[in-house]
Structure 1
Amino acid sequence: MEQETDLTKDETRVIEQCGTEPRFSSDLLKEDREGTFKCKKCGTELFDSDTKYDSGTGWPSFWDAESENVDKQKDHSMGRIRTEVVCTECGAHLGHVFDDGPEPTGKRYCINGIALEFEQNE
């Protein structure tokens, strides 16, 4: 695990308090370079750019994750049951996963861009 970074007020609200960033607010929504999306809090690799796609939801979306680095938990907030996605290394709230994504997995990892940092491949 890399050194944890200091978080801004907005990052803390999303990452540590299970918040949600506004739709279409993340610069990473349009990120299309080859690379890796990492946890903003601890630097753990979470998603490869090859699995990113435009879901039309307004949040960065992926059809697969680095499974050993992403944990899924039941989320009973907002009056419904959803599956929350968290970083296995530091417990950072990343977003949610849904069963309406594209092949080959059928999954849509709907992730708060504010919880991620992007590292371009060299």
Structure 2
Amino acid sequence: MKKEEIFEYVQKQYGTIPEYLWSKSPDSAVLRHKNGKWYAVIMTVEKSKLGLEGKESVDIMDVKCDPDMTNLVIQTHGFLPGYHMNKQHWITILLDGSVSKAKILDFLDMSYDLIGGAGRKENK
């Protein structure tokens, strides 16, 4: 799934438009929940910075993830610990075709819900 498709989806689904915050990374965009918090960051990074083989760049998306799921998810091909984020609460999804569009959108929706407060566990 290409980042342009993600931007189209979040515009229709949540009314979100990408924000480009960093002059040194003009291709990197933040997606904000209506409450102002980030629910996704889309970046282009060198594979080696992600612990992958190669010097070429790859598009990635960081999304918030339920901490109970994070360790399991990052063992799946195409998913990594959150790049430049809290690795307990964020995961990185490769946007290189290794993860299906349906899965990408599921994780994007989950991140949006987690940021919005839905899905928070009650204290036991």
- TM class by shorter chain equals under 0.3
Q: Which has the larger radius of gyration?
A: 2
Q: When the two structures are superposed, what TM-score results if normalisation uses the length of structure 2?
A: 0.27
Q: Which has the higher strand share?
A: 1
